[in-house]
Amino acid sequence: MTKKDQIRIAAIKVIAKEGFFNATTDKIAKEANVAVGTLYNYFSSKEDILDYIFQIECKKRISYYTEIKNSNREWFAKIEEILRFHFQEMIKDPHIAKIILAERINASRSKLISLDSFAKLPMILADILEEGITEGQIRQCDVKIMSLIIFGFIESVMGEFIINRSEQFLHKALKEICDLLKKGLAK
């Protein structure tokens, strides 16, 4: 692992535990087993670290979302797959879920941190739903709002998972949202 990623991973842990503002550069450096100065060999500021964290996570999600979107499945399988992917990521690294949830809005105040790409995620969901409508598999609806519903659900579940850490809960949650969408969006 590169030193930059070593710092990134450490920062994720500390920021998730303490929040961005309480995550001091000292703490991050200590967690990463490097000196404070080393942080600044790889990042121009503390904010830059958060930016990098978001970038990496975003890239990961967008590339996966896009892959699924372009795959040869029906709308419902695609949505289900995206949710499944999200939940798997949460289980793999619960810290990152917390950071995204907790810091996104405050991060958006900073010009340094570009969250444009994060905004693309609901758009991909919307595209998938749009296809479903065009192909006559889904009833007429506002796909943008519908994708917000799905996204909000993901975040709600994230929030709950951060607290209870139950994988079983994730599976049940996945089933419930799928049932709701299937039935609620049928023609």
Angle between helices 75-92 and 167-185 (to 10 degrees): 160
Q: Footprint of its own copies on residues 18-77 (CB under 8 A)? A: 18-19, 21-22
**CB contact at 8 A, 108 and 27:** no
Mark the segment that binds its own copies (CB under 8 A) among 28-36, 62-70, 82-90, 171-179.
Answer: 171-179
DSSP letter (8 states) at residue 35 = -
Q: Footprint of DNA on residues 44-103 (CB under 7 A)? A: 44-47
- Considering beta carbons, is residue 56 or 141 the nearer one to its own copies? 141
Per the structure block, which two tokens stand in for 126?
Answer: 């919307």
Per the structure block, which two tokens stand in for 96?
Answer: 């990152």
Catalogue the long-range contacts made by 100-104 (C-beta closer than 8 Å, 24 or more residues apart). Answer: 100/54, 100/57, 100/158, 101/155, 101/158, 101/159, 101/162, 102/16, 102/19, 102/20, 103/15, 103/19, 103/20, 103/50, 104/54
Q: Binding partner of residue 184 among its own copies, DNA, none, CB under 5 to 8 Å per kind?
A: its own copies
Q: Footprint of its own copies on residues 132-161 (CB under 8 A)? A: 141-142, 145-146, 148-149, 151-157, 159-160
Q: Binding partner of residue 36 among its own copies, DNA, none, CB under 5 to 8 Å per kind?
A: DNA
Interface residue list for its own copies (CB under 8 A)? 18-19, 21-22, 98, 101-102, 105-106, 109, 141-142, 145-146, 148-149, 151-157, 159-160, 169, 172-173, 176-177, 179-186
Interface residue list for DNA (CB under 7 A)? 3, 21-26, 34-42, 44-47
